[in-house]
Amino acid sequence: MLPRIVLASAVAVVVLSSAPLAAQPSAERAAPRTAAGKPDMSGIWVATGAIMLFEGEEAFAAARAADAAAGRPPGNSNEAPPYKPEAEAQRQYFLSRRGIDDPMAQCLLTGIPRINFRPLPFEIVQLPDRVIMLYEIHHAFRIIPTDGRGPPEDAEPSYLGESVAHWDGDTLVVDVTSFNTQTWLSGVGTIHTEDLKVTERYTRDSFDTIRYEATMEDPAVLTRPWTIRETFRLRPNERIREYECIESNEDLVRFQQLLEEGATEKTP
């Protein structure tokens, strides 16, 4: 087993180190491909919504304009989730409390797809038989088999669920199931049940971009599948750093005070 791991790691290093690392604002360079001919998603990425924090508002606007010019759908839609009335009422309740109930505020693992939109980068390492995602936030990781196997039979509900992937042409399709109910989908109060199924589609449509699409299915709370989209942008000069959320999280105390004072009952 060890030689296989070493070989796989060596392949990854060669693939990674052979990619030109200079920042290229143009999105028109072709996506790199693996020896097997598949698009190589490897690299450090960040959601376009976070470009404002990394490079400022002008760069953010330029990125969105580049997406529009390339025909990529606009990301971070303000569209409300297609909830059934009872679920929507719960979402409104959480909104009225201004997000004080956000599991992320307690430094709990952020689920899928929300973790992909956090304003911190993540690294994709694509190996021949699996894709590894390393998130700066929460030190989270996903190991996603691409060798044809199905989800594990002994899966327990979890924050990030269980992911397995296959290729649909040049698109990596990741099926995620076995979620717990301690995460929000995308935005304050976006609840779900353990029956949630998320289908993610990753398409590296240029050297610098991945088109991302996540479709959430959860018939108990959603009237129809809910799809959201974003463009991930390559960060060639970035590295994944440490982010230890719980170290000095004063929100835990503040939120308890707010709850005791009833301050969260005001409308936003």
Partner 1 sequence: MRTLAILLLLGGLCLARLAAAHHSFAAVFDGEKAVKVTGEIVSVEWTNPHFHFSVDVKDSAGAVQRWRFEGYPPNMLVRQGWKRDETLMAGATVTVEGWAARDDSKLGAVRWVTFTDGRKLAGGPPAGTGGR
Task: Judge contact between 57 and 49, C-beta under 8 A.
Answer: no
DSSP 227-240: EEEEEEEE-TT---
CB of 154 to partner 1, least distance (A): 31
Q: Does 119 bind partner 1 (CB under 8 A)?
A: yes
Candidate list 5, 30, 53, 89; residue touching partner 1; CB under 8 A: 53
Q: Does 49 bind partner 1 (CB under 8 A)?
A: yes
Q: How far is CA 171 from CA 146, 163, 165, in A?
A: 12, 15, 10
Can you tell me the distance from the alpha carbon of 236 to that of 44, in angstroms, rounded to the nearest whole number?
7
Q: Does 192 bind partner 1 (CB under 8 A)?
A: no
**Span from 3-11, 33-41, 111-119, 196-204 in contact with partner 1 (CB under 8 A):** 111-119
**Span from 33-41, 145-153, 164-172, 255-263 in contact with partner 1 (CB under 8 A):** 255-263
Q: Does 241 bind partner 1 (CB under 8 A)?
A: yes
**Span from 22-30, 45-53, 170-178, 214-222 in contact with partner 1 (CB under 8 A):** 45-53
**Span from 14-22, 153-161, 169-177, 181-189 in contact with partner 1 (CB under 8 A):** 181-189
CB of 147 to partner 1, least distance (A): 33
**Span from 34-42, 64-72, 211-219, 251-259 in contact with partner 1 (CB under 8 A):** 251-259
Candidate list 186, 203, 206, 231; residue touching partner 1; CB under 8 A: 186
Q: Within its chain, how far is the Cα of 229 from the centroid?
A: 10
DSSP 162-180: EEEEEEETTEEEEEEE-B-
Backbone angles phi, psi at 11, to 5 degrees: -60, -45
Place of tokens 């087993």: 1
Q: Does 104 bind partner 1 (CB under 8 A)?
A: yes
CB of 54 to partner 1, least distance (A): 6
Contacts 24+ apart (CB under 8 A), 178-184: 178/151, 179/111, 179/112, 181/157, 182/103, 182/108, 182/111, 183/103, 183/108, 183/109, 183/110, 183/111, 183/112, 183/114, 183/159, 184/102, 184/103, 184/104, 184/111, 184/114
Q: Which residues of this protein are in contact with partner 1, per CB under 8 A? A: 49-50, 52-54, 76, 78, 97-100, 102, 104-105, 107, 114, 117-120, 136-137, 186-188, 241-251, 254-255, 258, 263-264, 268
